[in-house]
Amino acid sequence: MLPVKAVRLLIGETLATIVPLDQASALNRVALVMAPFTPSEDLALGDLTLATFDGSTAKTVALGAQQVGIDPTTGEQRITVPDVVGGWRWETTGTTNLPQTIYGFVLYDSTGPGPLIASETLPSPVTLTEVGQEIIVGKVQIAISLEPFL
């Protein structure tokens, strides 16, 4: 059965306000991934290799409510994770572990080993080779599809 729009919209509104997405206590992080991966519902944080270059430290999601809206082009409901000060930007600050190729980024709950919440690949991998290079991933959003995957 396909839920009516009002029911579907409750999914995003509810998810944005409960653990693990609720940002009342700054538990979530966004990190870069340095090995190829394919986003899937079954992906786990332990399946990924997080970036290790100087400056690649995971960023803590800002406190506050996530924004929830509908993409008018796709019909997907999107939960937008609050930006950190300076945005979702990482810069190489030293030469440790360079060169390094970044394939995407993940949102995870940092408690304990931390469950993976969402993942996304970059449009194309980015190879960092020297100090002062940056990666900016733009908005961190979770998309809830109009229809389930078949």
Domain boundaries, the chain: 5-144
Rounded to two decimals, the pTM is 0.86
Q: How many angstroms separate the CA atoms of 41 and 47, rounded?
A: 12
Does the pLDDT at position 85 exceed 50? yes
Query: Which alpha helices (DSSP H) does the chain contain, by range?
Result: 5-15
Both tokens of residue 65?
Answer: 């409510």
Q: Is there a contact between 20 and 28 (Cβ–Cβ < 8 Å)?
A: yes
**Amino acid identity of 93?**
T
Q: What's the gap between Cα 79 and its chain centre?
A: 11
Note the pLDDT tens digit of each residue in 97-112: 999 999 999 999 887 6
Does the pLDDT at position 3 exceed 70? no
Predicted local distance difference test score (pLDDT) of residue 135: 97
